[in-house]
Amino acid sequence: MKKILIIHTGGTISMKEDEKTGAVKPGEKNPLHDTTPSLKTLADIHVEELFHLPSPHMTPKEMLILRNTIEEKIKKEHFQGVVITHGTDTLEETAYFLDLTIQEDVPIVVTGAMRSSNEIGADGLYNLISSVKVASSDEARGKGVLVVLNDEIHTAKNVTKTHTSNIATFQSPQYGPIGIVTKRGVFFHHSPTKRVTYPIRQLSKNVVLLKAYAGMDDMLFDAIQTLPLDGLVIEALGQGNLPPKATKGVKSLLEKKIPIVLVSRCFNGIVQDIYGYEGGGKQLKEMGVIFSNGLNGQKARIKLLVALEMTNDDEKLQEMFMD
């Protein structure tokens, strides 16, 4: 039997529905503790209750504590796999942060639930069981941080929450899952090509995310210049373009040496410097905007937070965002 660590951080998977009001919220006790005995046939299970937070309450500070706890526990207590339970709203951000910053290659799986523990069709225990199976699988080693829900195995890099309430919410647009979990076992059908990790020890920068829209001008860019800002991610239009009036805002931030990373608000495809008109990708690239390689906005923000702990050299940042 593999020695597996389960770390609870909160989320719907650790909540209950109030039968009178219908409100779903955390209680005093995490209902997942009662489920631990049903996992003992699968692995040698050890449980750590790190946080009891809804995932909109997660911040980079908790992500860093979680990362440090995982690395320390793997090193000192020789766990062979780790499962993290987490709220689904920001699950992809935490999972991607762990993927970028954990050097160990033991399987690390993040899971959650769309229905709380006492609701009809609750998916929490089911997802937890699937995740323990994946974390115990030899094949899961070296594949980076994985996200397991609803019988599917996704990479932290590509997965995103696509539906507000459906249990099949976690999808990897364009790429799909890399494996499935069935009653008989864990089956991988793809492997990630490359994983680069960054050994940062702190998260001290302030990076914000803006979404482009038709008619966007420099108003928001002017407003954020008053903030203590270290970096900006813009979810641009299509292949990486902005409305012409927004380029003035981009230029003045770049002149202040604030790095700007461009992703697309389309959820498939990558940004490239294709268009030569005012606000088009070619002009943005020439101005020094960093083009990302297929990440969504919230994950590019996590990556820029991490990258800025390593360097603020534009060329090095651009290289990091090509991985």
Task: Report the residue number, 50 or 270, with the smaller CB distance to ligand ASP.
Answer: 50
Q: State which of positions 71-110 bind ligand ASP (CB under 6 A).
A: 87-89
Q: Pick one of 31, 112, 124, 297: the residue that binds ligand ASP (CB under 6 A).
A: 112
Phi, psi of 224 (to 5 degrees): -75, -15
Q: Is 55 annotated for ligand binding?
A: yes
> Pairing relation of β-strands 186-188 and 179-181?
antiparallel
Q: Pick one of 6, 11, 106, 210: the residue that binds ligand ASP (CB under 6 A).
A: 11
Binding mask 165-204 for ligand ASP (x = CB under 6 A): ----------------------------------------
Q: Give Cβ neighbours of residue 174 (< 8 Å, ≥ 6 apart).
A: 158, 268, 269, 294
Residue 28: CB minimum distance to ligand ASP, A: 17
Task: Report the residue number, 2 or 57, with the smaller CB distance to ligand ASP.
Answer: 57
Q: State which of positions 113-132 bind ligand ASP (CB under 6 A).
A: 114
Task: Report the residue number, 82 or 114, with the smaller CB distance to ligand ASP.
Answer: 114
Task: Report the residue number, 54 or 249, with the smaller CB distance to ligand ASP.
Answer: 54
Residue 52: CB minimum distance to ligand ASP, A: 11
Task: Tell me, by CB under 6 A, how many residues bind ligand ASP.
Answer: 9
Residue 26: CB minimum distance to ligand ASP, A: 9
Task: Report the residue number, 12 or 292, with the smaller CB distance to ligand ASP.
Answer: 12
Write out the catalytic residue numbers. 12, 88
Residue 164: CB minimum distance to ligand ASP, A: 9
Tell me the three-class secondary structure of the chain, residue by residue: CCEEEEEECCCHHHEEECCCCCCEEECCCCHHHHHHHHHCCCCEEEEEECCCCCHHHCCHHHHHHHHHHHHHHHHHHCCCEEEEECCCCCHHHHHHHHHHHCCCCCCEEEECCCCCCCCCCCCHHHHHHHHHHHHCCHHHCCCCEEEEECCEEEECCCCEECCCCCCCCEECCCCCCCEEECCCCEEECCCCCCCCCCCCCCCCCCEEEEECCCCCCCHHHHHHCCCCCCEEEEEEECCCECCHHHHHHHHHHHHCCCCEEEEECCCCCCCCCCCCCCCCHHHHHHHCCEECCCCCHHHHHHHHHHHCCCCCCHHHHHHHCCC
Residue 208: CB minimum distance to ligand ASP, A: 21
Residue 54 binds ligand ASP (CB under 6 A)? yes
Q: Is 313 annotated for ligand binding?
A: no
Classify residue 174 as left (phi > 0), alpha (psi -120 to 50) or beta: left
Task: Report the residue number, 88 or 150, with the smaller CB distance to ligand ASP.
Answer: 88
Q: Is 88 annotated for ligand binding?
A: yes
Residue 114: CB minimum distance to ligand ASP, A: 5
* Contact (Cβ atoms closer than 8 angstroms) between residue 161 and residue 170: yes
Binding residues for substrate: 55, 88-89
Binding-site annotation, residues: 55, 88-89
Contact set with ligand ASP (CB under 6 A): 11-12, 54-55, 87-89, 112, 114
